Amino acid sequence: MDPRAGTPAQPEDLVDLDALLGAYYDRTPDLDDPAQRVTFGTSGHRGSSLDGAFNEAHIVATTAAIVEYRRAQGIDGPLYIGRDTHALSLPAWQTALEVLAAAEVDVHIDAREAYTPTPAVSRAILRHNGAGTAAGVRTTGAGGGLADGIVVTPSHNPPRDGGFKYNPPHGGPADSDATSWIAARANEILANGVGAVRRVTLEQALAAPTTARHDYLESYVAELPSVLDLEAIRAAGVRIGADPLGGAAVEYWGAIAERYDLDLTVVNPTVDPRWAFMTLDWDGKIRMDCSSPSAMASLVRQMGADAPYDVATGNDADADRHGIVTPDGGLMNPNHFLAVAISYLFSGARPGWSPQAAVGKTLVSSALIDRVAADLGRPLVEVPVGFKWFVPGLLDGSVGFGGEESAGASFLRQDGTVWTTDKDGILLALLAAEIIARTGHTPSELHGGLVERHGQSWYARVDAPATLEEKAALGALSPEQVTSTTLAGDEITARLVTAPGNDAAIGGLKVTTAHAWAAARPSGTENVYKIYAESFRSEAHLTEVQTEMRGVVSAALESVTGQ
């Protein structure tokens, strides 16, 4: 932990915007350096122009690859594009629009020339493709006119970073088949020279007949009563403090408060691409992580004695994540709020949902969710890390709620049909207020009740060093290569390299016992692997689980690499 974590950023912590934007246009990527090539992770291509990893050439190439991909897939409807408040998002948005207009792609940009949260783009794609109609969402097939989208955002990453992600017609994150093709083609275009890609000027792109204006804010805000009980929040007078953390939700919160007459205060409406108002994250960097106690320190302090709000909420830069702060519990652990949300929603709050609708969780989320789902008599769908795995279930209503341990989730509309297939931090923040309005208890109080019923747990994630060879081996393990029989004094009951919910490879290893579990996954950006672990015994037992999991992984890797 950096000694300055949780303290206000100082001038020396702020990014040089002139240098950042200058590098975007002036720096040419060195394709001999793998870090400067286009690489799509679980949330698109990310990097900094200062490192040669997010420059104009990357966006030209990636957009051109998306144009080719959508044509090959028969996607010929509008492309909805939005951007967050990062400094690199506007120039990347402009570059993308220049390429899209030259390719005569129908593009829908924000009618207010403002920022657009990820869930608003997801919702726009789904609505165009049939969400809310009797026929439902159409993602493939004859008839044409399918829409897709791009969101220019690196999510909660530091101010020096940019990000670019593609959402196909199902409205959620693209799967690896799509992203692998797009990244490979983009790197080919980079290698051949982006000068061959057709572009028009920004002025021509904005005036092009293929460029239309879409009111993302109005469309999203107007439909919120279909997924939330906003009247209950208003009638109960729940006092909400919403902090957009300088992100794309800033205008949405004010519009929600005004439209639905809520006692809602936008705690900090400032948009500053340097994020000078932030407190530093755990490692001393500025990061808009609404699940981090250090990044959320200012809001947490406001919720101390004589708190002005019944609940305070935070969102990251593209508003796909949520943070929940209560007067009695402070900033909630994301796993704790997910468990409370699931318990509330599936305990009668949504009678329009199918009785068979499942609970969706990533396999590194808390096992408290497993116990809550079992108590509710609901099927549990446990998937690998990545929100894309929830898309099919949210689309057809077979999954009522999908949530990740990293504070990202979405759930169905009140009638049991799809809301968004990407994470929605605004939705989950408002759900916290609905829970207070309809139960009379804060989410942290309700979590206490779940602990009494199902037991207390201790959860943490740590990193362990790993070579590139070891990371590759960890991602390709088989259960038979895990020879350990016990973990922290308990018999290992399962060795998983695929997810129970969909049999997809988890890219690592998870082992479970009667009282704990641990999972190891290689990092996509560093020479480490991540160990997620949880114990239902004690904090000391959690430490023991983490230590022994390193041994389990080391033994398995030694059997593969011989080292």
Distance CA 277, CA 250 (A): 15
Distance CA 107, CA 105 (A): 6
Distance CA 486, CA 209 (A): 65
Its sign, for the CA torsion 177, 393, 385, 493, is: negative
Distance CA 448, CA 444 (A): 6
| Residues facing 213 on adjacent strands | 109
SS (H, E, C) 407-452: CEEEECCCCCCCCCCCCCHHHHHHHHHHHHHHHCCCHHHHHHHHHH
**Residue 447 vs residues 46, 246, 250, 329, 537: alpha-carbon distances, Å:** 35, 29, 29, 10, 17
Place of tokens 């690199």: 88
**Residue 519 vs residues 360, 363, 496, 498, 544: alpha-carbon distances, Å:** 18, 8, 9, 12, 14
**Residue 129 vs residues 139, 142, 168, 227, 347: alpha-carbon distances, Å:** 7, 13, 11, 19, 31
Q: Which helix (H) or strand (E) holds 19?
A: helix 17-26
Residues involved in catalysis? 155
**Which of 72, 161, 79, 166 is closest to 125 using CA atoms?**
79
Are 172 and 40 in contact by the 8 Å Cβ rule? The answer is no
Distance CA 563, CA 401 (A): 43
Q: How far apart are the first and last CA of the chain?
A: 31
Determine how many CB atoms are found less than 10 A away from the CB of residue 498: 16
* Three-state secondary structure call for residue 40: strand
Distance CA 545, CA 225 (A): 44
* Helical ranges in 163-249 per DSSP H: 176-192, 202-207, 216-222, 230-236
- For 485, the token pair is 């029989």
